[in-house]
Amino acid sequence: MSDKKEGFFAQIKNQIIAGVGIVLTTLGGVFIDEVKSFVGIESEEQTEQVQIEQKQEVNVQGPTIVVNIPEQQPVKEKVIIKEVKVPVKKKKEVEEEADW
């Protein structure tokens, strides 16, 4: 593939050949496994997986959050705010006081 003289169709042909090789290898592996199971020959990995059976229990709980809100007491006294009129000095009075 390092040869740049190959054409587009030559690259596609190489990819198709590689794909067919992968498919044939996979089918061969599946066929061998089926023949072994039919005859009664099993690999060690399969027998170990059947024998080792584990139960896992997962109990996941988040942290418990406790919020304490103090009991509110009703208001016993009523506070009334009245508007008080404050006399405002006029400009002339302010100017007279600032006379130096």
Query: pLDDT tens for residues 21-79?
Result: 999 999 999 999 888 888 877 665 655 555 666 677 777 777 888 888 888 777 677 77
* Count of beta carbons in the 10 Å neighbourhood of residue 35: 10
Question: Of 2, 10, 1, 14, nearest to 22 (Cα)?
Answer: 14
Six-digit token string for 77: 């006294």
- pLDDT of 26: 95
- According to the 3-state scheme, what is the secondary structure of 19-54? HHHHHHHHHHHHHHHHHHHHHCCCCHHHHHHHHCCC
Quick: pLDDT tens for 55-64: 777 777 778 8
CA distances from 11 to 4, 19, 21 (A): 10, 12, 15
More confident: 12 or 1 = 12
- pLDDT of 17: 96
pTM value is 0.36
